[in-house]
Chain A
Amino acid sequence: MRALLLVSLMVMLGPPNQAIGARDGQSRRYISLAPATTEILFALGLGEEIVGVSSYCDYPPEAKTKQAIGSFSSPNAEKIIALRPDYIFATGLEQAMAVNQLRQLNLKVYVSDPANMAELLASIREIGRLTARQIQAETLITKMRAVLKKIETKIKLIPVERRPRVFVEFWHDPLTTAGGRSFISELVTLAGGVNIAADIDKPYVHFSPEEVVRRNPGCIILVYMQGAAQKENLGRRLGWNKITALKNNRVYNDIDPNILLRPGPRLTDGLDELYQRLYSEKCITTGK
Chain B
Amino acid sequence: METVLEISHLFGGYGKDTVIKDAGLKIQKGEFLGIIGPNGSGKSTLLRLMSRVLPPQQGTIKFQGRDIQRIVLKEFCRHVAFVPQDTLINFPFSVEEVVLMGRIPHLGRLQYETKQDMEIAERCLSLTDTLSIKGKGIDGISAGERQRAIIAKALAQEPILLFLDEPTSHLDIGHEAQIMDLLKRLNRDKSLTIVMVLHDLNLASEYCSRIILLDRGGVFQDGTAEEILTYQNIESVYKTTVIVNKNPLTGKPFVVLVSQEK
Direct touching of A and B (C-beta under 8 Å): no
Residues of A within 8 A of B (CB): none
